[in-house]
Structure 1
Amino acid sequence: MCKLRTDQSLTAREHHLSSAQMFAMCTGPNCNFYESLRLKNEVFPIMRSDDISKAAMGDVLICSYAESLLRKHRRPQIKNVISNKMRELGRLLLTLREASGCQILLDTLKPEMFDHFVAATKIISGYNEETQSFKASSLALHMGTTLKQICDMATKLLIKKTKLLPYEDSEKCLKEIKRLKNLFENHWSSKISSLALKNLNENKYEKPKLMPLTTDIMKFNNYVSRQAREARDKLMGTTHPKANFRLLSECILALTLLLNRKRIGEVQFLKVENYIDVSMQNVQEEFLQALSESEKILTKSFKRVVTLGKGSKPIPLLFSTTIQELINVLLAKRNVYISQKNPYLFANPNTTDKYLSGYHTIKKLAENSEVSNTTLFTSTRLRKQIATVLQVLNITESEFEQFARFMGHTKKTHATYYRLSQDVYETAKISKMLLTINSGKTQKYQGKTLEDIEISDAIETDSDTETEEKDAGEESSKSSRLPSKEIILEENYTDASDDSAARPSRVHPKALHSNAYKAVCRDPAATAGSRLHGSDCQDRNATLRALFPARPTENPLLR
């Protein structure tokens, strides 16, 4: 399909081509087989008309495999996934035809074809021998699982002895398929999967982890809210009602997605009956008493709706009072513009059973709101943004688990895939931890969290170490210029009864350079030499002993 086309839906001509291709495939000798498939009515009509689709639809094994996938799911949206899976196998089959000459996929399920499967997978996934990288790493990664499932489906058909597959000896075919599957299980990882996984992880690492900024989210929210109010006012009047109805639906869809940070499918597939029929649950009084007054007000202001999410799990959606008022206007005008057969709340006015595309809606509104980077406004990035910002809040383990359940995944998934480490946050927290450990004062902070440790305490060690090294260098240089290793302050020894006065006081050389020592020894007689005499000397010596306690007789510089 042309990349420049803004509307990616099939045109009328393409619908005719798809119908003609489906008719040609389903009117052959296996017409009864195709008539029994759900694929004929659900998947084949949406497949593109080309050689890839023709090869996939014409292979019985591929169609049987796709039919088994389709029957596992109830939601109609799975048909797009099935179509993509069939086209992947169709591309693989066309490549195997060129390499081996086999026309159907069953003929390739032999052990000697293992290397052909490896080469064909590298071709369709865009493998580069020089850089040892894939253009489509995910395709190469899951192709091994798909081929093992194809082997299981072929085994099932051969055991049932179906007449749809051409084979001569079923037992021989079963042994060959079993051996080929063994090769896939034991050697596919060394050939394809390991390299594809490394390539995928490297691409994620090299790709910058960008998220929408909070200022852009606020700007987007204000713009969409303003557009919703204008569309509501115009819808109540007579100015372009249908266009305003669609704009109001798109704005409500965007506001709901922005508030709940859900997956796009969980919002755009919401049905009217699920929104209207809100079952009232029996709430325990203990829970209401545990809430604060503001929290009790919020429970009355927000409407909680449960819908089906990923994996058919119940997913809650919250609707504020403002959004509820907009939806009430939407429902009041719904019968005028939307078919009664359309069950979706955010229905497409131009169709009978379709819904609005949440991806294209968010993209269009983001471009119109003139945010700094429109490519960042996707449901996945919005979910990652709220999961990352949540790290700043000091929430408990139970609150974290409850929030993860509201988002529709487990705590492990939330922490592994959605929470991203911010550079500033990581640098600040981890550097504090490293400084604390390297300071050798871990016992001092025993039982404390990183929030309790002051950053000045952690940096203190480095600054003190530098000061001590600098002082030690100055002391060693000054000690070489001193006339003696100790400075002895002589007192008046005439009074032999005073033992404390009879002992000389030793002052560490570092004290000579302190401001306290210079303040005491301002007398010219004190600065004339290192020995002080007279009655004034006794007063100064007493002051010095109070400022600088006596050191051991051993000089610390000579240890």
Structure 2
Amino acid sequence: KTHADVARVLSLPKKSKDRMKMLTKLRNKGNHSHNSEVLASGIGSLKLRRTAKTNYEGRDYIHCMYCQALYLRRDLWRHVRKCSSKPVEANSEVGRKKVLSLASMNESAQCQQISPGVWKILTGMKDDEISSTVRSDLSILQLAQSFFNKHGQDPTKYDYIHQRLRECGRLLLMLRKDFSIHTFEDAVRPANFDVVISAVKKVSGYDEEKHCYHTPSLALKLGHSLQKVNDILHCRALMTQHSTLIKSTQSFKTLFAKKCSELLSHTALTTLNEQHFNKPSTLPFTEDVQRLHRHLEKKTELALKELKEHSSPKSYSELCKATMANVILCNRRRGGEISKMTLNGFQERDTSPLHKDVAFGLTKFELHLCQHFSRVELRGNKGRKVVVLFSPDMVNNITLLMEKREDCGVMAENLFLFARPHCLTPFRGQDCLRLYASECGAENPELLRSTQLRKHVATLSQILNLKNHELDQVANFLGHDIRVHREYYRLPEATTQLAKISKLLIAMEKGSLKSFQGKTLEEIEIEGNAFILCSMKELDLFLANVEKRITLG
């Protein structure tokens, strides 16, 4: 009775609502303390808010994050909707999985050691055994904090953070089940190095007989995550002056640097490279691109008319998706770059007239293009500044979308230009492009993707005799590093060998190579009858010689 909360309850009138509410709160608080001890020790009986007819195990129950009463996991969402202790600002329409994530995070022993932003990201994960493993390990939580410190300002990176954390959770779950290693702090001990490598291989689907991975990229990602976790533990040990952990993490880092290539990365990279062998060219056909252009024009026209007549989330979404797909197609931009374009970024675009001195060096046609297109700068891959060009029709469509945002249910907090109604995320560019590619009647709609379209323009630009500075301009517009552009976005290697190198080999075979002295491969022309072979036997002999020279060369 001397406790402050108890004294406050006793001071209230008997049978009053406030007194009953305070008593329930105190009772739940005491039961929560008791239940936590029972669940930790496995001894004793649980104090339930509502007794179930069927017997359940302790793991089937979870405490409400607001009133701290104990409920079945499957029933918690019903209680939360009407929980009297829930704050007013809490969302009343949270789904089942979200409720369980919030409750699980509330019970996590380490939840107080991470920032609220990380907490918010973790509650967005699917509530299952993997996410529970993630929340139970301090090292993974600190890895999440590290990712949040780096990418927290970009909401579009949250899915990436989820993915990386779930990968670590899968690895730790494997270590717990098969190797009795329960934390990453135990895993990075030098004595457990071989065990950790075995777990990584098992998670990544390593085939001992074929010496290859089912998911080679996962093995590489887990290798990077292990190094990151080890660095986090090393920093923690330095700050706490934990000499044993300092030596352990340092030794593990040395082991990993020496043995990782041999045991993990070399085989994974080999598997990845072999997957690209003998793959057909994936460049889209010009006819299919034209079909997609025409289809988008029709879709945009219909959606524009409908939105002007009836402002609704459906008509807004149709115009938004069609405009986004059109911007991606015309600019050959990555879908993610257009998706992440912000409203402010578009509104603050440079609309100043062209400088007179600059205009002096342009042709009339180039001057017209400068006046025709609007230019918006945005952040691209690896932080590069990339440019998006908007035609007047695109600008008009986007302006209408901006005017109708509030009427069509777009939240004021949604900062994206191509925003979804009733949520805080944008439309996905790849999804929009895939949708219209499948509808346009293209012969190969699977090739009408942003990656293939970018490769299409970058590769076909090689056909033009572009100078170095012109090639640099194309690469900069596409957001490519010029070295990567020259190395990967060139004419398909098979085409080069068949169309160009074979001319050289034929000339050598016929003994006429001297007549082409001083000429480039493009200038070499073989007379029509020079390639006519007398018989199949001669053809086989010729092909064998060509194959032999390619192999030796």
Shorter-chain-normalised TM-score: which range? 0.7 to 0.9
TM-score w.r.t. the length of structure 1 is 0.73
Q: CA deviation at 1:254?
A: 0.5
Aligned to 2:314: 243
Letter in 2 for 1:113: N
Aligned to 2:39: none
Structure 2 runs not aligned, ≥5 long: 1-91, 539-553
Q: CA deviation at 1:290?
A: 2.9
Indicate if the aligned counterparts of 1:306 and 1:314 stay in contact, CA closer than 8 A: yes
Letter in 2 for 1:26: N
Q: 1:24 aligns with which of 87, 104, 113?
A: 104
Q: CA deviation at 1:53?
A: 0.8
**Cα–Cα, structure 1 residues 117 and 15, in superposed 2: closer, same or farther, change >3 Å?**
farther
Q: CA deviation at 1:178?
A: 1.5
**Cα–Cα, structure 1 residues 445 and 59, in superposed 2: closer, same or farther, change >3 Å?**
same
The RMSD of aligned alpha carbons is 2.7
CA deviation map 1:424-458 (0-9, x unaligned): 4541122223345666666654553333333339x
Q: What pairs with 1:273-352 in structure 2 (closer than 5 Å)? A: 273-280=344-351, 285=356, 287-337=358-408, 338-351=410-423
TM-score w.r.t. the length of structure 2 is 0.74
**Cα–Cα, structure 1 residues 29 and 69, in superposed 2: closer, same or farther, change >3 Å?**
closer
Structure 1 SS opposite 2:341: coil
Q: 2:189 aligns with which of 102, 110, 113?
A: 110
Identity of aligned residues (%): 29
Q: Between 334-343 and 82-91, report the one with greater CA deviation.
A: 334-343
Structure 2 SS opposite 1:38: helix
Q: What pairs with 1:316-395 in structure 2 (closer than 5 Å)? A: 316-337=387-408, 338-351=410-423, 353-395=424-466
Aligned to 2:245: 173
Q: 1:59 aligns with which of 125, 128, 137?
A: 137
Letter in 1 for 2:295: Y
Inter-partner Cα distance in structure 2 for 1:59 and 1:97: 12
Aligned to 1:188: 260
Q: CA deviation at 1:271?
A: 1.6
Q: CA deviation at 1:62?
A: 0.9
Structure 1 runs not aligned, ≥5 long: 1-11, 163-169, 470-559
Indicate if the aligned counterparts of 2:105 and 2:119 stay in contact, CA closer than 8 A: no
Inter-partner Cα distance in structure 1 for 2:102 and 2:405: 36
Q: CA deviation at 1:286?
A: 5.2
Does the alignment pair 1:403 with 2:483?
no
Structure 2 SS opposite 1:290: coil
Inter-partner Cα distance in structure 2 for 1:45 and 1:28: 12
Inter-partner Cα distance in structure 2 for 1:408 and 1:310: 7
Q: What pairs with 1:133-532 in structure 2 (closer than 5 Å)? A: 133-161=212-240, 170-238=242-310, 241-280=312-351, 285=356, 287-337=358-408, 338-351=410-423, 353-419=424-490, 421=492, 423-436=494-507, 445-456=516-527
Tell me the number of residue pairs that the alignment of Structure 1 and Structure 2 aligns: 443
Inter-partner Cα distance in structure 2 for 1:209 and 1:182: 42
Letter in 1 for 2:197: V
**Cα–Cα, structure 1 residues 422 and 300, in superposed 2: closer, same or farther, change >3 Å?**
farther
Structure 1 SS opposite 2:302: helix
Indicate if the aligned counterparts of 1:306 and 1:317 stay in contact, CA closer than 8 A: yes
Q: 1:82 aligns with which of 150, 157, 161?
A: 161
Structure 2 SS opposite 1:212: coil
Indicate if the aligned counterparts of 1:253 and 1:358 stay in contact, CA closer than 8 A: yes
Aligned to 2:59: none
CA deviation map 1:336-378 (0-9, x unaligned): 2123332222111232x22111122112112222322333222
Inter-partner Cα distance in structure 2 for 1:177 and 1:241: 57
Inter-partner Cα distance in structure 2 for 1:213 and 1:416: 22
Letter in 1 for 2:216: S
Inter-partner Cα distance in structure 2 for 1:137 and 1:363: 27
Inter-partner Cα distance in structure 2 for 1:158 and 1:148: 15
Indicate if the aligned counterparts of 2:295 and 2:440 stay in contact, CA closer than 8 A: yes
Aligned to 2:11: none
Structure 2 SS opposite 1:366: helix
Q: CA deviation at 1:199?
A: 0.6
Indicate if the aligned counterparts of 1:257 and 1:267 stay in contact, CA closer than 8 A: yes
**Cα–Cα, structure 1 residues 54 and 456, in superposed 2: closer, same or farther, change >3 Å?**
same
Q: CA deviation at 1:58?
A: 1.1
Q: 1:44 aligns with which of 122, 129, 152?
A: 122
Indicate if the aligned counterparts of 1:308 and 1:314 stay in contact, CA closer than 8 A: yes
**Cα–Cα, structure 1 residues 418 and 22, in superposed 2: closer, same or farther, change >3 Å?**
farther
Q: CA deviation at 1:411?
A: 1.2
**Cα–Cα, structure 1 residues 247 and 465, in superposed 2: closer, same or farther, change >3 Å?**
closer
Which has the higher Rg, Structure 1 or Structure 2?
1
Indicate if the aligned counterparts of 1:122 and 1:140 stay in contact, CA closer than 8 A: yes
**Cα–Cα, structure 1 residues 206 and 130, in superposed 2: closer, same or farther, change >3 Å?**
farther
CA deviation map 1:469-509 (0-9, x unaligned): 9xxxxxxxxxxxxxxxxxxxxxxxxxxxxxxxxxxxxxxxx
Letter in 2 for 1:196: A
Inter-partner Cα distance in structure 2 for 1:87 and 1:464: 61
Inter-partner Cα distance in structure 1 for 2:113 and 2:309: 55
**Cα–Cα, structure 1 residues 447 and 397, in superposed 2: closer, same or farther, change >3 Å?**
farther
